[in-house]
Every structure is written in structure tokens, then in C-alpha cells.
Amino acid sequence: MPAPDTELIYRDDSLLVVNKPAGLLAVPGRGADKQDCLSVRIQRDFPNALVVHRLDMATSGLLVFARGVEIQRRLSQMFRDHEVAKLYVALVQGRVESPTGEVDLPIAADWPNRPLRKIDVDTGKASLTRYRVLDYGNGAAETLLRDTQSELILETSRVELEPVTGRTHQLRVHMAAIGHPIVGDALYGVPATDRMMLHACSLRFIHPVNGILLDLQSAPPF
């Protein structure tokens, strides 16, 4: 079985779906101090497990591993062809007034400030995020935001996010761009909580081998 701080959501001979905790790399990074990651932990128990897609270190939630090269190829193609429906839940700063909406803003690498991304209408790649407000709350109920001078309790919105495209940091950049950065986002928002409030809560796709619809869910831990 996988390491005790990871949760195995689904398992068969073709693939695994794992609930990644926040603060754990999905794959190894550069340097000896960045070798502990979800893929290494999973491969200790499932040596044929291969990475299909990734989540940011600060993001928690559902991550798919293929069991073998051929299944990795099929699943990777499904992600590229947008045949995998992905949903996230985020707690964002402020009150998102429109109950539903889209953020259609191109994203580019911010090379002088790597690993940051930025909105760039000239060089950015087309990027689309759909959102739906789930509820509103006073930040004191779920998290306490602090500015540099004093404690400051801010209103928050809980939103469901659908990344129609899959750019690096897309949800984080898009929500910050419309004035509602994700709570706890150290790169694009207010890094005043012990984790970023972004969770990959749903994956829905046709199993690449048996053709069965997989509808996998993970409730956000915030």
C-alpha cells in the first residue's frame, strides 16, 4: 500500500488515482532535497506506476498514474485531447460577484521572475478557466489571512474551477488576474496560511482499457 500520508482512491491493473497532500512534490525536483515526492513514494509499492500529469506542490487532490508505458501513452493523449474532465475547489480572497463566469486570458512564462507566469496578450498561450461560486464566507470560519501589520479577517468565496486548458499555474494566475487570488498562494496571492487553498476534487474519464466511465471524487480538506 502507498505511504500513510497518501490516499489511494482507485486501483486496477492499468492505472492508479491517488490523493496528493499539499506540500508534497508530484515528481522529483532539482537537488537532493527535492527527491522525496509522490511518484517516488508510489513507485515503492507499484514499480510500474508512471506519471501522466502533475499538480503543483502546493495543490492537493487527485493525481493519475499509469501502470506501464502503453497506458501512460493512452492516458497522456486523453489529457492532451481534453477527454479528462477536471474540477478543482478553491478558497479565494474577496467576494466573487458573478455566480458563474469565464477567465479567457493568455498566459506566458515570466522569464525574469521564474517560476512565475503572467498574463501576456502578445506572447501568451490561449488559456480558459470556467468558474462557479459555491458559497461565501467570512475568512475567520476557514482561514485567517494576515497582512504585514496586523491580523486582518477578509471575506472569502469558495469556487469550483474548471481548467479548460492546462497551462502551468493557470488557475492561480487567472484568479489573481480577476482580483481574487487563491488564499495561501505564496506566488500570486497572500501567503498567510499553512497551505494554498486549492484542491483537485474531481476527475471524470473513460477507462482507456475497459471503456468504463470513471467518476472519481475527493472532498477538499478546507
- Give the catalytic positions in this structure: 56
CA gap 218, 201 in Å, rounded: 5
Asked if omega into 115 is within 30° of 0 (cis), the reply is yes
Residue 92 class from Cβ within 10 Å (0-12 exposed, 13-18 middle, 19+ buried)?
buried
190: left (phi over 0), alpha (psi -120 to 50) or beta: beta
**Residue 74 host element (H or E):** helix 69-80
Q: With the C-alpha atoms ordered 45, 213, 163, 107, is the resulting torsion angle positive or negative? A: positive
